[in-house]
Amino acid sequence: METVKVIINGKEVEAPKGKLLLEVCFDAGFPIPNFCYYKDLPPQAACRMCLVRIEKMGRLQTACTMRVSEGMVVTTESEEIRRARMAMVDFILANHPLDCPVCDKGGECELQWMAMNYGDLLARFDEQKDATGEYPLSPFIWLDPQRCILCYRCIRVCDEWVENHALGVRGRGAHSVIVGNRPDGTLACEHCGNCVEVCPVGALTSTNFRFRARPWDIRDTVTTCTYCSDGCQLRLSVRDGRVVRAWAKDLTKMDAEFANKVLFSFRTAPETRHNWINEEFLCLKGRYGNEFVNSPDRLRVPLLRRNGRLEPATWEEALKYVAQRILEIKRTYGPESIACIGSPRLTNEDLYVLAKFGRQVLETPHVTHAMDVDWRPFFKRLTVPLLTQPELREQMPTILLIGGNPPEYNPLTAYSLRAAVHRHGARLYIVSARPIGRLQVATRFFHIRPGSEPAVWLALLDEGEVERAAEATLLTREELYELRRFVWEADRLALLVGREVTGPALEAAAVLGGMLQAKGERIVRVLPLLRFNNSLGALDMGLVAEMLVPEQVGPQIKALYLMGCDLVRFYGDAWRQALARAELVVAHELFLTRTAELAHVVLPAMSFAELDGTFTNNAGQVQRIRRALGVAGDWRPDWMIIDQIAAKMGADLGCRHSAANIFREIAETIPGYQGITYARLNEEGAIQTERPLMPLEVIDRARLLERLRAQVEAIDHTAERLQEPAPLGIGLFEPGTLTEHVPLLRQAFGWDVRESVEVSR
Amino acid sequence: MRVLDVVKAIAQGLATTFRHLPDRVTTQYPDEPVRLERRFRGQHILHVDENGREKCVACFLCAIACPADAIYIEAAEDLRPYPERIGVDIRYARVYDIDYGKCIFCGFCEEACPKDAITMGPNFELAWYTREDMIKHKEDLLITRQRVSPHLEIAP
């Protein structure tokens, strides 16, 4: 990269040519005050706080729009600049209310910091301020236009990060107001709240955090999101034993003194690195969906079925009962009569202990987890490494997405796709049965017949099949050839595989990368868009047996050990009768779910905010979750419950009372996890596991093509294209087992959630 | 002569003592009111404005200024118009507790308050039988609710 020499305050600095002067100054240790500049967003030059003197230029220049060039001589501190900044602060404060005591931002407000450091003691404007009240823009976001300093960060974030284009400005000059995209000025968007996070003042505030805490009396814990498989990192802020917000702001990009002294003076150690895979992005669920942990509906004591009713019991009673009944059933019907079903939401530690319990103590082959799509053939035949989000954003000039709807189901992936296009002009091709909203940055969009994704894979794998594929997908032959060229001529290719891709097509997705790499020097990475936060971890931990069908329960399966797995909700009402047929149903749950209601024993488990552990995201990256909350109920970690039951059955699972010890064992036994420790995870953030790759020669490609062809034949060739894009919120606004216990989401989307059943006391 | 100096000093000291002997210092509390200076720091008072709206906006500054961590606040929102609402602002303290088992009467809360909503009052009779009773709520502290003890008088 071409570099230039610039002199900043007499210090010679080398910087890449064309980099923003403000960034160069920041890196050189001369932070420049600013409001409207934000990393990765197009420069705006709205606030004029970053004025600097550049030699041979007539006026003071804005550092946030100036790009460095050879021989630039810059002064960032002088009497002239001090006075200019003072005037700018005065100007910004002209209509800013003095309501810091009631403003949510007070204490972490960039304007407060600027006014204290660069402002004058007294304001020179004595005109009446233009007072307006606060009002909600959406159920999640409030606006106080008087506090707004018109830096346009929110608008740019909405356009660039999430492509909602939901915010704009109405009016001119001093009367400019930020408005939403509905005619009445409210917001029709996915309510991700990223605009709230980047707001330098308290103009945009979150409904859930409003008035609940001040920045100095909350404690932050960095943890991993518990929703989709992308695995965003977030800080959970806790006040008084309750989660009050989740946020992901990059504090290292702020003025170090502000970030460390002000934002962290009341909290933990200052953050020196922000190597999060999601940078600063969070989606609706990640930001507003964590308050289920505060829910009063949480199970707090073990429940035991006595005389047909679930009644509170002590742990001792419950554990003893479970151990005794399992032993009885094992003795009477044999070990195959017991099934362990985990949930892809639990930590690796919990799932590992469950698998070990099932195999070693129960000796049953039925150790599995609730899967929506069977990804096992994909990971078995994987020929290229998995794609991480930073790689997707920074290193992949050609990206192909087949199936899936990332903005709804994998919002971070959607963010990374947009970032790849914005940052280095990546070419993004999308093949989908439905137009995807909020991915308009795509270079090409191939609209195929619903369910015909396998035909696209067939055409990509074998040129001779283009004709057949064209017929199945409703694409023209030229379009399919274009897709083939795109894939086969790319140097660095990212393949994103959506959940519509199933069966042999999934295997094809796993194999194609290897075939491309075998053809020449190139790098191919593949990203499966799994559904749950630990879907991949559950596979890794060995919960891989075939999922049971409800008919098996009764004749074959007598006992079900369910860990956080709501079968009735997930697989439908057929499981109601199945559970009634079982002789023993044990459920670990946070809430009394439809499945737990039918269980014989319900054991209250801990949520992700109360646990230590790890999740493995869809790129195979292991990330920590950390305990943010104290104990508010008589609940225990899932692994501990199993360990105690095993102890009652006379077995030792070797948990040794801590998740760290279990993870040590995971690192020793599970392939790919070698060398990963909690200490390393704390240090490095996300660590990608090494997946065993299948050599291309081993794979019977002719047979695979044959099966793929059969799959293509089975496609309904009469189906028409779906013209309507999937509605906004098809994934994000749907109630789930956890989100339906978040009051804010329930109110906002009017979910008609079944009332929890009264437990007899 | 050092002995003489010592005797002189003792005599001087005792002279002051004897001079004040006739003064009546003991107050016959509770039969007679205790006389307090204006700056006396007793039980807190939460103030209201001229229309009876609570002045506190629940900014939590007193809570963080408190060296004994005796103040606990929960803020809430009241979007009604001014004449109907509880506080001067839409933000008000739904819960305002002071734990007199912890409070050290330093007055920092009073100094931190940006709205002059909390001051140290004259009430000094702060003894109760249980720890729960030592935690006083907003309802006990508001100037409209709190009675000034009949056992005190404030110096002019």
CB-CB neighbors (< 8 A) of A98 in chain B: none
- Give the confidence band of B24 by pLDDT, cuts at 50, 70, 90: confident
Confidence category of residue A261, pLDDT binned at 50, 70, 90: confident
Which residues in A lie closer than 8 A to residue B75 (C-beta atoms)?
Answer: 211-212
In angstroms, the separation between the Cα of residue A291 and the nearest Cα of chain B is 17
Model confidence at A378: pLDDT above 90: yes
Q: Residue A101 and residue B90: Cβ atoms within 8 Å?
A: no
Residue of A nearest to B112 (CA): A101
pLDDT score of A755 more than 60: no
Gap between the Cα atoms of A350 and A639, Å rounded? 5
DSSP character at residue B147: P
Show Cβ contacts of residue A365 under 8 Å, excluding neighbours closer than 6 positions.
A336, A545
The CATH class of the A1-77 domain is alpha beta
Q: Residue A18: pLDDT above 80?
A: yes
Q: Rounded to the nearest 5°, which phi and psi values hold at B24?
A: -100, 105
Does some domain include residue B11?
Answer: no
Q: Is residue B16 part of a domain?
A: no
d(CA A23, CA A1): 17
Q: What is the pTM of this model?
A: 0.93
Interfacial residues of B (vs A; Cβ cutoff 8 Å): 57-61, 63-64, 74-77, 89-91, 114-115
A759: left (phi over 0), alpha (psi -120 to 50) or beta: beta
Give the pLDDT confidence of A130-155 residue by residue, as tens digits.
Answer: 888 899 999 999 999 999 999 999 99
Does residue B116 form part of some domain? yes
Q: How many CB atoms lie within 10 A of CB B2?
A: 6
Cβ pairs bridging A and B (under 8 Å): 35
Cα distances from A361 to residues A249, A352, A355, A561, B100, in angstroms, run: 45, 13, 10, 13, 56
Facing A101 at nearest CB: one of B61, B63, B90: B61
Q: What's the pLDDT score for residue A255?
A: 78
N-to-C CA span, chain B: 49
Task: Identify the CA nearest to A264 among candidates A289, A234, A235.
Answer: A235
The answer to whether residue B12 sits within a structural domain is no
Specify the CATH architecture of the domain A303-371+535-618+626-676.
3-Layer(aba) Sandwich (3.40)
In chain B, residues with a C-beta closer than 8 Å to the C-beta of A211 are: 58, 75-77, 91
Q: Classify residue B26: in a domain, yes or no.
A: no
Rounded to a whole number, what is the distance in Å from the CA of B121 to chain A's nearest CA? 23
B27 in any annotated domain? no
| For residue A136, cis peptide bond before it (omega within 30 degrees of 0) | no
| Structural domain includes residue B8 | no
| Shortest alpha-carbon distance between residue A213 and chain B (Å) | 8
Q: Is the pLDDT of residue A360 over 50?
A: yes
Residue A152 CA, distance from chain mean position? 25
- The domain limits of chain A are 1-77, 303-371+535-618+626-676, 376-529+695-726
**Interatomic CA distance for residues A703 and A64, integer angstroms:** 58
Distance CA B51, CA A751 (A): 41
Q: How far is CA A504 from the centre of its chain?
A: 28
Which residues on A lie below 8 Å from B76 (Cβ)? 211
Beta bridge partners of A492: A523
Residue from the list A211, A213, A266 with its beta carbon closest to the beta carbon of B76: A211
Q: Inform me whether the pLDDT recorded for A757 exceeds 60.
A: no
Nearest to A211 among B58, B61, B64 (CB): B58
Q: What is the mean pLDDT of residues B8-35?
A: 91
- B59 and A99 in contact by Cβ < 8 A? no
Going by C-alpha positions, the residue among A534, A551, A555 that lies closest to residue A543 is A534
- At A60-69, the pLDDT tens digits run 999 999 999 9
Strand ranges across the sheet with A204-206: A135-136, A141-143, A204-206
Q: What is residue A269's predicted lDDT score, i.e. its pLDDT?
A: 67
End-to-end CA distance of chain A: give it in Å, rounded: 71
| pLDDT score of A760 | 35
In the beta sheet, which residues pair with residue A238? A219, A243
At A758 the pLDDT is 40
Write out pLDDT tens, residues B82-101.
999 999 999 999 999 999 99
Interface test with A, best of B66, B72, B86, B91 (most A CBs within 10 A): B91
Do A392 and A230 touch, CB atoms closer than 8 A? no
- Say if CB A78 and CB A98 are below 8 A apart: no
> What residues of chain A, 90 to 119, have a C-beta less than 8 Å from chain B?
99-102, 106
Return the pLDDT at A601. Answer: 96
| Residues listed for chain B | 156
3-class DSSP assignment, residue A428? strand
Confidence label for A753 from pLDDT (cuts 50, 70 and 90) = low
Alpha helices by DSSP H, A268-373: 284-288, 315-333, 348-356
Angle at A415 (CA atoms; ends A414, A417), nearest 5 degrees: 65
Q: How many CB atoms lie within 10 A of CB A691?
A: 16
Residue of A608, A607, A628, A624 whose CA lies nearest to A678: A624
Percent of chain B at pLDDT > 70 equals 100
A214 and B114 within 8 Å at the Cβ level: the answer is: no
Would you report the helix, strand and coil content of chain A in percent, each value rounded to 5? Answer: 35, 15, 45
Fill in the amino acid letter for A38. Answer: Y
The pLDDT, as a whole number, for residue A759 is 41
Please state the rounded mean pLDDT for residues B4-19: 95
CATH of the domain at B126: 3.30.70.3270
Cβ–Cβ under 8 Å, residues A603 and A613 = no
A219 interface with B at CB cutoff 8 Å? no
Q: A573: Cβ–Cβ under 8 A, 6 or more apart, which residues?
A: none
Check residue A610 and report its DSSP letter: S
Asked if A99 lies within 8 A of B89 by C-beta distance, the reply is yes
Minimum distance, in Å, between the CA of residue B127 and any CA atom of chain A: 28
Tell me the C-alpha distance between A605 and A644, whole Å. 13
Q: What is the mean pLDDT of residues A262-268?
A: 67
Q: Which residue has the tokens 């807190």?
A: B44
Cα-based distances in Å from A323 to A333, A361, A364, A549: 15, 11, 15, 25
User: A654-667, pLDDT tens digit by residue?
Assistant: 898 999 999 999 99
Whether B63 and A217 lie within 8 Å, measured CB to CB:
yes
Answer whether residue A537 shows pLDDT above 60. yes
Q: Do B115 and A101 touch (CB under 8 A)?
A: yes
Bridge partner list, B46:
B118, B142
Tell me which residue has tokens 């505060």.
Answer: A294
Question: What's the CATH fold of domain A376-529+695-726?
Answer: Dimethylsulfoxide Reductase; domain 2 (3.40.228)
Is A146 touching B (CB cutoff 8 A)? no
| Ramachandran bin of A364, using left for φ above 0, alpha for ψ from -120 to 50, beta for the remaining angles | beta
Residue A704, pLDDT > 80, answer yes
Number of domains in chain B: 1
Q: Report residue A756's pLDDT band, with 50, 70 and 90 as the boundaries.
A: very low
Q: What is the pLDDT of residue A68?
A: 93
Residue A102 is nearest to which of B63, B64, B89, comparing CB atoms?
B89
**Across B100-126, average pLDDT:** 95
Distance CA A337, CA B87 (A): 64
Cβ-Cβ contacts under 8 Å, A266 against chain B:
64
pLDDT of residue A130: 82
Counting every residue, how long is chain A? Answer: 761
Q: Which residues of A touch B74 (CB under 8 A)?
A: 212
Confirm or reject contact between A216 and chain B (CB < 8 A).
Answer: yes
**One-letter amino acid identity for A524?**
V
For residue B77, give the nearest of A99, A210, A266 by CB distance. A210
State chain A's mean pLDDT as an integer: 92
Residues of the domain holding B79: 34-154
